Amino acid sequence: MALQAAAGQASAQQTGTQRTITLRIARSNPAHDSSTTGFDDFDVPYEKWTTVLDAILEVKKSLDHSVAVRYSCRQATCGSCGMMINGRPRLACFTKIDELNSSVITVEPLQNFPVIRDLAVGFDSLFENHREVRPYLDRENTELEGVPDGELKEYPQSPEELEQYIQFANCIKCGLCNAACPTMATDSSFLGPQALAQAYRYVGDSRDKGKDSRLKVIDDSHGIWRCHFAGSCSQVCPKGVDPAMGIQLLRGYMLGFGGGSGNNNQK
Amino acid sequence: MASVDQEEGDAGREAGTDSQDRYDGAGSSSSSGSAKTAADGNRAGVGGMINPGRYGIERVAYWLMRLSGLGLLAYFIGHIYETSSILQGKMGWDEFLAITQTTEGHILLAIVIGMCVFHTVNGIRVMLGHGGVGVGRAARPDYPYIPASQNYRHKLGIYTAIVLAAIAMMYGLAVMFGV
């Protein structure tokens, strides 16, 4: 396969049956030199099924193995390969080159996250905020008293109760919503749409009894009240979580509108 | 409290970065011409916040809401300054009022009318949304995952705010210019 790195060539060429695009990859290595940043351009062949991640891996394999990118499952399940693709947060494994309708594809690290190197960003803040909203079911230890060792205790739930939160349980923590959020763009203390939507996921769960402590965390000037309902988070979510809906329903609940939370345990 | 149903681990993606301090301290505007520097924390900044181009009409409404809010705040301060000219007597008041009777003054007031109407109508839409009104119901999503919160009701509200603002501006201009 004849691949040539050709800077500055913006062309989708038809060479026989093989088409090529110019892949512009943002390069930086802040651990070594924070002042040296820029783009490297690569001409990459593609087919109609080629994803942006495939193209990046082709570059790593054949042109420049030093390109840093994080990926794992290649099927939009692990949430590792989020990046800015032509200026919009997307999963590289879930974005086909064909659907972008562009002869030049620019890939950059996700905005609003610190860059580790090239396309890899640090998710420490995402996971810290996620943990802060207590992303687990809170139950009293006393409920487990009397349950023999080795046996499980069941918390039954109706299909209707499941519907209240199952959408928000689809979150893969890819960080695309936080990258698209205009509030995250300027407020480093904001919890972010990912964490707030996860707060609703557990507040809406009929098995959970930790609503009060969870709401205390998000009831903050940099918490749920900083969301301005721009809705960009929902537009980029690759799993249909719709964080904007979760946040508004949760805020409606906190304001006393009911908010759609099906969890009546601690009202 | 006991923790049950713990979320799956994400340790794989938590592999360390030493740039957290830089990230927390910085903010800068987006630049399409060059790669974002890592040292600035890669935060999109004000440029990223106001970018209305990639996220649909909802992001445009967000941007216009911010802009009109700041514009109305500036007008409010100017208005207080203007009305304080009455302390200089009738002559001072008339002199200042004459500024608003110019072509530029009329255009400025028409823009204020537009900002006021848009901010009011869109503000009502946003407040309803913040209360969970019209954002859809939680349900199991199906591919291609069209977000229910970005539904036609809210889009209609945004377009209504824009159209009403435009009509109010045109009416204001017609009255001020005596058309």
Domain range list for chain A:
13-121, 124-142+155-255
For residue A24 the two structure tokens come to 């512009």
pLDDT (0 to 100) of residue A107: 97
Measured CA distances, A48 to A2, A43, A57, A72, B138 (Å): 19, 16, 16, 22, 35
Q: Is A174 on the interface with B (CB under 8 A)?
A: no
- pLDDT (tens, 9 = 90+) of chain B, 179 residues, equals 444 444 433 444 544 333 333 333 333 333 334 444 443 568 888 888 777 778 889 999 999 999 999 999 999 999 999 889 888 888 888 888 888 889 999 999 999 999 999 999 999 999 999 999 999 999 998 888 999 999 999 999 999 999 999 999 999 999 999 87
Selected residues 78-97 of chain B with any CB under 8 Å from a CB in chain A: none
pLDDT (0 to 100) of residue A33: 77
pLDDT (0 to 100) of residue A36: 67
Residue among A78, A180, A253 whose CB faces B55 most closely: A180
Q: Is B48 on the interface with A (CB under 8 A)?
A: yes
pLDDT (0 to 100) of residue A258: 65
Give the mutation candidate from B55, B122, B124, B127 for the A interface (greatest A CB count, under 10 A).
B55
| Closest C-alpha among A166, A66, A174, A184 to residue A123 | A174
Residue of A nearest to B40 (CA): A114
Q: Is B138 on the interface with A (CB under 8 A)?
A: yes
The minimum CA-CA distance between B160 and chain A, rounded to whole Å, is 17
pLDDT (0 to 100) of residue A99: 94
Spatial distance between the Cα atoms of B119 and A47, rounded to a whole number of angstroms: 48
A110: region left, alpha or beta (phi > 0 left; psi from -120 to 50 alpha): beta
pLDDT (0 to 100) of residue B41: 67
SS3 category, A4: coil
Q: Do A186 and B141 touch (CB under 8 A)?
A: no
What is the fold of A124-142+155-255?
A: Fumarate Reductase Iron-sulfur Protein; Chain B, domain 2 (1.10.1060)
pLDDT (0 to 100) of residue B119: 98
Cβ pair A110, A175 in contact under 8 A: yes
Residue B129 counted as domain residue: yes
Q: Do A242 and B147 touch (CB under 8 A)?
A: yes
Name residue A139's amino acid. R
Q: Do B130 and A245 touch (CB under 8 A)?
A: no
Number of domains in chain B: 1
Residues of chain B with Cβ-Cβ distance to A234 below 8 Å are: 147, 149-150
The minimum CA-CA distance between B90 and chain A, rounded to whole Å, is 44
Residue among A135, A207, A258 whose CB faces B7 most closely: A135
Spatial distance between the Cα atoms of A58 and A64, rounded to a whole number of angstroms: 9
Domain spanning A13-121: CATH superfamily: Beta-grasp domain (3.10.20.30)
Residue among B4, B5, B140 whose CB faces A166 most closely: B140
Query: Mean pLDDT, 10 residues at a time, over chain A (267 residues)?
Result: 41 63 94 81 95 97 96 96 96 96 96 94 95 92 81 89 95 97 92 97 94 93 94 96 96 80 44
The minimum CA-CA distance between B66 and chain A, rounded to whole Å, is 10
Q: Do B145 and A139 touch (CB under 8 A)?
A: no
Residue tagged 């082709």 (tokens): A58
Q: Do A115 and B142 touch (CB under 8 A)?
A: no
Containing domain of residue B124, as a range?
56-72+103-134+147-179
| Other CB atoms within 10 Å distance of the CB of residue B160 | 15
SS3 category, B38: coil
Residue B112 counted as domain residue: yes
Selected residues 112-171 of chain A with any CB under 8 Å from a CB in chain B: 112-117, 121-125, 127, 135-141, 143-144, 155, 163-168, 170
| Other CB atoms within 10 Å distance of the CB of residue B135 | 31
Within its chain, how far is the Cα of B130 from the centroid? 15
Residues of chain A with Cβ-Cβ distance to B58 below 8 Å are: 229-232, 235
